[in-house]
Amino acid sequence: MARDAKVVAEKVLALLGGESNIDQLNHCATRLRVVVKDDSKVDADALGETEGVHGYFLKNGQHQVILGTGFVGKVFAVLKGENIETTSETSNKNKENVSTFQSVTRTFSDIFVAIIPALVATGLLMGLRGLIVNGFGVELSPQLTTLSQVLTDTAFIFIPVLVTWSAMRVFGGNPVLGIVLGLMLVAPQLANKWDVAFGNAEAMMIPFMGFEIMVTGLQSSILPAVFMGWFAAMVERTSRKYVPEVLDLILTPFITLLVSLIAGLVFVGPMLLGIEKLITDVVVYFLQIPYGIGGLIYGGAIQFMAVTGMHHTIVPITIAMVTETGFDYINPLGTAAIAGQFGAAMAVMMMQTSKVKKSGMFGAALPALFGITEPAMFAITLPRVKPFLYGCVGGAVGGCIGAIAGIGSAGTGATMLPGILLYLGGGLGMYLVVMVVAALVAFLLTKLFYKEPK
């Protein structure tokens, strides 16, 4: 007879002294591991005799309830408030109160909240290196260069690992499987996405129904990692419904990794490359529109691409532009977009009455001054939606000014404050105007039209 996870969970919780008595709750392959506040409230005899429970014992201060492979995960999910039926009802109620766009942005925010500290630290280090190398022109020794690359590039190159881990956590899957999937996206056996884009390597070609699918690593990609986290969590939950509990520990991870990897690398990856090519063509087209319209569109829209990580597709364009003309005309437009998010984030920060919240928000907004916008965007503006949009408006205004002025940086790779040194040969005054106007417009719009919920 099949055991009911909800019924067993309710009985176990009651015999452990109730929800108020639970201090820590975890599980292994077969056992529920619980640390309680008051051991005297635990009914040890009844736990061992409860229907659906295979046994009970106390070890190292942990109350361990034996439930069996597979079933322990279902009971744990119920105890943690992740019951499928309950979650669905709650989600439907929440969806009635928020728009689809708000729901999507909140999901992205939930995914990135956990990895923001890593992005903040790495962003500051990256901005500092850009200032030293690209700004002041300091040539680092090979040893220092390698160490700086380890410090600054690791988190952003391997960001799919962080994202799939967090996405699996948010969507109710096994976060460890998310880490493995993220590592598979950037596996060294696959050609690096950037090497393929610059013609330094060839992608692996897989024949499929008369076509050849191009497969590469997905370094620095966010959108496919989010998809992988969501898809893998769905595959894992579906597998647990049909896989016998005795085989759950072996078959469910195997099915989850196999199906998700094929979907991510063979289908989503090639689709992503096609979208990146389309975005490249669209950006080049917009840059050719006169009267600053192209700069207005780019400055306002680039942060929507940054949400998904697609803004990295602009890198080959900027490098080719500097190689051919000596200037990067996209740089001031991207700077305007970052300044807009910084202005909106600072406005939200000033609305806070708690010193702790102000301090945390300032720490997230600060990397934007060095050209790293993700912490400010994912921690402050995007979850609140309106400040994010006002930041985009500020970026659009600044981008329009930059495009009309026709300024460009004498090099690439540095924006915001480090980028100032790329304009010392000309255009510095207008570059500062672009930054200040974009930040000021976003700041004022946020202060005037956004109210922080109580």
Q: Which residues are catalytic?
A: 28
Burial class (CB in 10 A: 0-12, 13-18, 19+), 160: buried
With b for 16 or more beta-carbon neighbours within 10 A and e for fewer, the 104-125 pattern comes to ebbebbbbbeebbeebbbbbbb
Count of other CB atoms within 10 angstroms of residue 405? 17
Closest CA to 301 of 313, 315, 311, 288: 311
Give the side-chain half-sphere CA count within 13 A for 28.
9
Q: Is residue 168 within 8 Å of residue 230, measured between CB atoms?
A: no
Q: What is the full DSSP assignment across 113-138?
A: HTTHHHHHHHHHHHHHHHIIIIIS--
Count of other CB atoms within 10 angstroms of residue 132? 16
Angle at 164 between CA 162 and CA 167, to 5 degrees: 105
Q: What is the distance between the alpha carbons of residues 82 and 29, in angstroms, rounded to a whole number?
A: 18
Contacts of 334 (CB under 8 A, 6+ apart): 298, 299, 302, 311, 314, 415
**CA 204 distance to own-chain centroid:** 27
User: What are residue 118's DSSP bridge partners?
Assistant: none
Contacts of 370 (CB under 8 A, 6+ apart): 123, 124, 126, 127, 128, 130, 131, 416, 417, 418
Contacts of 61 (CB under 8 A, 6+ apart): 35
